[in-house]
Structure 1
Amino acid sequence: MNAINPPAHFIADVYKAFHPSYLSLISSANPVHASPATSPDARRWLAMACAEAITRKLDVLLESACRHPDDFRDLARMFGEAGYFVEVVVMAVPAALSRLGILHRFYEKLPEAGSGNLPARLTPVKVHDDSYHGLTSVAQWIDEVDFIDRVVMVRRGNLVAFASEGVEGTSSSGGVSAALRRERERPLTAEERDVASYDLQKLQARDAPLAEEIKKMLEPLLIEEEQSSSRLRPLEFPPAGTKDVALTFGNSI
């Protein structure tokens, strides 16, 4: 996988924009219905695209929010059974920071608030929570299967907090789910506290009750920071970097 032969990049949300009903729904009196109405077809099209990529033996970069954990499991199994090197990168973020980040990106009109050609949108709380808990389920599942070759868990800022190299015929024996739980429950760093405080102030000016809700979620994470049990290292990309902190993309480092 390289710049000459980049991977096929798949995101289920992107397919929603190609749904024949999407434009009429997004411009209707209730545009919030556009996403849930087109999501089932978009998810099916994603699976079809992955199957076609496997047929062509393409490298694939697949993004998943894990709102539908079985979708992730089916796709990962599909690639694993086809002989792919399956490398999973997990974004580990405490729930309060995750919620606050969604609100910040939406209200500040940042590009990350949308996917592909989709307009920026505010992710509903239920969708966020479904995805958040779905990732927990997926992490537990990864610990039980033997065809996930590698897992890298990162914090915001692309700092590697955990990396697990799979051994053929074995599972990760609980390491991924435990690392995810640890990262979500850890105290915030000084930098994270400063950023959260700044974002909360801006949210307070827009929606005081919502800001208060997020503030209460943050409180358990604001205790004095302890020495991290994880040695954080920047995520790197081949050919530079050492194997334990670099995405391998199935290549040797």
Structure 2
Amino acid sequence: MTRIHPPAHLIADLYKAHHPSYAALVASKDPAQAALASPATGTDARRWLAMAVAEAVERRLDVLLESACRHPDDFRELARMFGEGGYRVEVVVMAVPAALSRLGILHRFHERLPEAGPAGGLPIRLTPVKIHDDSYGGLMSVAEWIDEVDFVDRVLVVRRGNLVAFADEKATAAAAAGGRLRGKVAEAVERERRRPLTGEERAVVVRDLETLTARDARLGELVMGLLEPLLVDEEEKAYPELRPLVFPPGGPREAMLTLGEEA
């Protein structure tokens, strides 16, 4: 995987824009119709993503795949396709406390930040609470599944800001023998989700919450209630050392996104 030969970057959302119904629904002046753009095209987009992965595996292409894990069985099947196809499978999991995740979604949407929209220039949209919660639960389900399978070669669990909180990798001998990781991925994700906020995170939360409350006092109060359990001091409790995410060839391997390169 190099700049000369970049990976095929696959995201289900991108395929929605190619659905025959998508453009008309998005352009509808009826809000109820416009709101159907994503759910009406999502099933076909997921099917097309699976077809794209099958084609990439057939061609032996390097692949970068993004998944929100709202449909965890989709992730499992796609990862299995790579594993059974002889790929080196690396997974990077974003682990964020639920309240922080909800606040981030609201802040990005109301401030019209580019990252509020799907990749590929699709319209900015507010992720519904149910979809957020389904994805949040689905990701944990996937983390538990990773602990049980033998074809995931490497995992990084990261916080926002590209800080690596956990890493695991098969030893070369274990990989050759079809071994597994240590089975600690779900535990690491759960620990990150329950941890108290850092001082830097609190400062960002205060700023974003003030902005949200100015727009919608009721919503701001609701999110504040979700955040309160995270605003505690647990200095006596030890958390893993955080390492900035790095790329080859430099930096410690336990914080490296190896881009398919084995040790």
TM bin (shorter chain): over 0.9
SS of the residue corresponding to residue 53 of structure 1 reads helix
Distance in 2 between residues matched to 1:190 and 1:251, nearest whole Å: 36
The aligned counterpart of 1:240 is: 250
1:181 aligns with 2:184: no
Please report the RMSD computed on the Cα atoms of aligned residues, expressed in angstroms. 1.1
Alignment-derived partner of residue 144 in structure 1: 148
Structure 1 stretches lacking a partner, 5+ long = none
Measure the CA separation in 2 of the matches of 1:174 and 1:251.
22
CA contact (8 A) 1:144 1:173 kept: no
Deviations 1:129-172 (A, max 9, x none): 00000001000000000000000010000000000112322333
Structure-2 separation of matches of 1:15 and 1:113: 18
Residue in 2 aligned with 1:209?
Answer: 218
Contact 2:153 2:181 in 1 (8 A): no
**Separation (CA, whole Å) in 2 of partners of 1:129 and 1:171:** 29
CA contact (8 A) 2:168 2:182 kept: no
In the alignment, is the contact (CA less than 8 A) between 1:142 and 1:171 conserved in 2?
A: no
* TM-score scaled by length of structure 2: 0.94
Deviations for 1:88-109, whole angstroms, at most 9, x for unmatched residues? 0000000000000001111111
Partner residue of 1:65?
68
**Aligned partners of 1:240 and 1:32: how far apart in 2?**
46
CA-CA distance at 1:207 after TM superposition:
1.0
Aligned-pair CA distance for 1:239: 1.5
Shift of 1:240: 1.7
Partner SS for 1:160:
strand
Within 1, Cα distance between the matches of 2:162 and 2:256?
A: 11
Of 130, 142, 145, which aligns to 2:134?
A: 130
CA contact (8 A) 1:17 1:117 kept: no
- State how 1:48-63 maps to structure 2 within 5 Å: 48-63=51-66
CA separation of 1:225/1:193 partners in 2, compared to 1, >3 Å: closer, same or farther?
farther
Q: What does the per-residue CA deviation read over 1:20-63, in whole Å, with 9 as the maximum and x for residues that have no partner?
A: 11011112212111000000000000001111111111000000
Is the Cα–Cα contact under 8 Å of residues 91 and 156 in structure 2 kept in the other structure?
Answer: yes
Contact 2:50 2:78 in 1 (8 A): yes
Distance, in Å, in 1 between the alignment partners of 2:191 and 2:122 is 34
TM-score (norm 1): 0.97
Report the Cα distance in structure 2 between the residues aligned to 1:252 and 1:239, rounded to whole angstroms.
12
Q: CA deviation at 1:173?
A: 4.4
1:193 maps to 202
- Percent of residue pairs identical: 67
Whole-angstrom distance in 1 between the partners of 2:181 and 2:56: 27
Verify the 8 A CA contact 2:158 2:166 in the aligned structure 1: yes
Q: Is the 8 A contact 1:12 1:43 kept in 2?
A: yes
Preserved contact between residue 68 and residue 134 of structure 1 (Cα < 8 Å):
yes
Give the distance between the partners of 2:183 and 2:215, measured in 1 at CA: 42
CA distance in 1, matches of 2:8, 2:16: 18
Contact 2:105–2:126, Cα closer than 8 Å, also in 1: yes
Confirm or deny that 1:26 pairs with 2:26.
yes
- Cα distance, 1:225 vs structure 2: 4.0
**1:39 counterpart = 2:49:** no
Q: Which residue of 2 aligns with 1:163?
A: 167
Alpha-carbon separation, structure 1, partners of 2:70 and 2:116: 17
One-letter code of the match for 1:241? G
Partners in 2 of 1:217 and 1:17 — Cα distance? 34
8 A Cα contact 1:91 1:155, kept in partner: yes
For structure 2, list consecutive stretches of 5 or more residues without a partner in the other structure. Answer: none
Given that residues 189 and 225 in structure 1 are in contact (C-alpha distance below 8 angstroms), is that contact kept between their aligned partners in structure 2? no
Q: Within 1, Cα distance between the matches of 2:162 and 2:35?
A: 32
- The aligned counterpart of 2:2 is 2
Equivalent pair of 1:92/1:155 in contact (CA under 8 Å): yes
